[in-house]
Structure 1
């Protein structure tokens, strides 16, 4: 018999796309998509079960369908559409994961668990290392928002792995996911007509394209079971980095530098008009940035991203409305302004 795969969070574009993708896998016999609300997109030949993973009923779904592979994608930083709030998102992320893991623990048929996590678990701090590996402890644990949710989720997953050593557990820490269908606070931020930035900072950022997200989830869910991988935690990101100033120029969007003490006020103002989730963790990312090493992604998972960080961002930029200025014009303007600024003494000596 083929594999029975359960995927959570299928009402979101990313989850729905993954469900459609894995139905083409020859070893998959049945795919079950789970979410608290019906998806507005089609799921191909998958079965949809409307269930809230925050409730114990998810255990019945696993048992009734003899699920052996669980792909947990219902971990996110934003409400779905106009429904929900930050508290609802947190409950789904944390309480929902607890309930799902409890159900998996009681389900003897479950043999593999794949969890969609985030590099936000490393936080963003002024004394961070230049590059985070999977074993690098954060200098400052995230204090709230989606990043804190991800830290808690991974803690529960580690506990589950200890209780069920017979289940192969794979945690994928994705960098910021971008693409034409991206749904994230950072995608919302880049869609603003003018980008507020932190004065004096130009952070390094990494991105992963949603196409690459589909492929690495597929590898972790299926190819891994053929003996090349049992369990592990992996950073997933495209090659290279982009500075925040480079992203603004490529979008054709001007920036407004804001003094750090006023950034929190700007974030509150943006949230009040529903434009973006400008949480404290988001502010720290746009202040200090974050870069991760992806050697284990290649050496152990055997995954090579199709898109670099710059290419993933370029594809995202093409899907968004044009900026206030053509990117070429904005780049020339910035370069001319830079030529007018006197070089710092240290730069003049070098």
Structure 2
């Protein structure tokens, strides 16, 4: 750390939350400089952040860390939306290969003292055998096999390996619940913005949320307090999916699990929603995480509860238009027709 304060490098600043976090850090106590890194420039104002155009999948990131005398890295480049990344293949490259390259660069940086990684509670999965609340020491009942959840689990594995190789570096891993807010664009907010919301027949899962402002606050808290460890981060309380839908004042339709999955694929192809495969498990079984360690060890208290975070998001959702509802009805009919064709083909086989 320089005499004037910490020099922080933030990845993923082309996206809104990464840009806002980097900008907020410039006025945080004990911060001398903030360098924002991404493959493309941020669209909004970054204030006093020094932007460096660099792809973390390339070795150039090591030169940036060395040249800027970085002592703290905040990794926010693990993304959940293949549509925004340019497809699943590119998303995996950004998430996994990008993290590997970043950690390789960090390992060779003798001046590095702190690594903060934004992870996700999605790593716990969602199944019928899950505990009521996951603590940080628990493993998922079923290892993720695809998508964002698999990427996040691999990223955490590489982070743990880095921590073993560089015990002199404080590593803070934040497993955040689904982040929600008026400006958040993610698989879960895309789902709740649908004109008619599909649910899994016979299930009413429990959900936890983290407000976008609390995400920024916990990241800043982790940077300035220098506390290492793995922490679940979520707003107090739970919402049942049915309660959330009622608060949106939107219609819902209950479908069998396979039909919701097919509908999600249809919505993804139609670019109506970035409906991730692991979201089906969440919409069936839900997930709860214990946040005791967040309060007692990390010393962080979210301003928003799960309910108030969702309420703030709900205020940004416009009423359902009849035209959009008819569009979803057609998508549902398409799923049904495809299922019938598949069953006919199977019968002939």
Same fold, TM exceeding 0.5?
yes
**Correspondent of 2:32 among 14, 29, 33:** 29
**Correspondent of 1:280 among 264, 277, 283:** 277
| Cα distance, 1:322 vs structure 2 | 2.3
| Aligned equivalent of 2:53 | 50
Q: Is the 8 A contact 1:208 1:312 kept in 2?
A: yes
Task: Look up the SS of the partner of 1:281 in the other structure.
Answer: helix
| Aligned equivalent of 1:41 | 44
CA distance in 2, matches of 1:10, 1:320: 26
**Correspondent of 1:235 among 227, 232, 236:** 232
| Aligned equivalent of 1:304 | 301
CA distance in 1, matches of 2:321, 2:269: 23
| Cα distance, 1:279 vs structure 2 | 2.7
| Aligned equivalent of 1:86 | 88
| Aligned equivalent of 1:338 | none
CA distance in 1, matches of 2:150, 2:274: 15
Q: Is the 8 A contact 2:72 2:113 kept in 1?
A: yes
1:255 aligns with 2:252: yes
**Correspondent of 2:290 among 287, 293, 299:** 293
**Tell me, which stretches of 5 or more residues in structure 2 are unaligned?**
323-349
CA distance in 2, matches of 1:60, 1:84: 27
Distance 1:62 1:89, change over 3 A: same
Distance 1:79 1:259, change over 3 A: closer
> Which 4+ stretches in 1 moved above 6 angstroms?
none
Please give the per-residue CA displacement for 1:290-317, whole angstroms capped at 9, x wherever unaligned.
0000000000011111000000000011
| Aligned equivalent of 2:75 | 72
| Cα distance, 1:261 vs structure 2 | 2.5
| Cα distance, 1:272 vs structure 2 | 1.3
1:211-226 correspondence to structure 2 within 5 Å:
211-223=213-225, 225=226
CA distance in 2, matches of 1:216, 1:197: 31
**Tell me, which stretches of 5 or more residues in structure 1 are unaligned?**
326-350
| Aligned equivalent of 1:178 | 180
| Cα distance, 1:80 vs structure 2 | 7.3
| Aligned equivalent of 1:166 | 168
| Cα distance, 1:127 vs structure 2 | 1.0
User: Greater CA deviation, 275-284 or 69-78?
Assistant: 275-284
Q: Is the 8 A contact 1:252 1:324 kept in 2?
A: no
1:4 aligns with 2:1: no
CA distance in 1, matches of 2:137, 2:89: 30
Q: Is the 8 A contact 2:81 2:276 kept in 1?
A: no
CA distance in 2, matches of 1:245, 1:252: 11
| Aligned residue-pair number | 319
Q: Is the 8 A contact 2:239 2:306 kept in 1?
A: yes
| Aligned equivalent of 2:339 | none
What is the RMSD of the two structures over their aligned residues, measured on CA atoms? Answer: 1.3
Q: Is the 8 A contact 1:251 1:323 kept in 2?
A: no
| Cα distance, 1:323 vs structure 2 | 3.7
Q: Is the 8 A contact 1:253 1:324 kept in 2?
A: no
CA distance in 2, matches of 1:50, 1:22: 19
| Aligned equivalent of 1:187 | 189
| Cα distance, 1:17 vs structure 2 | 0.5
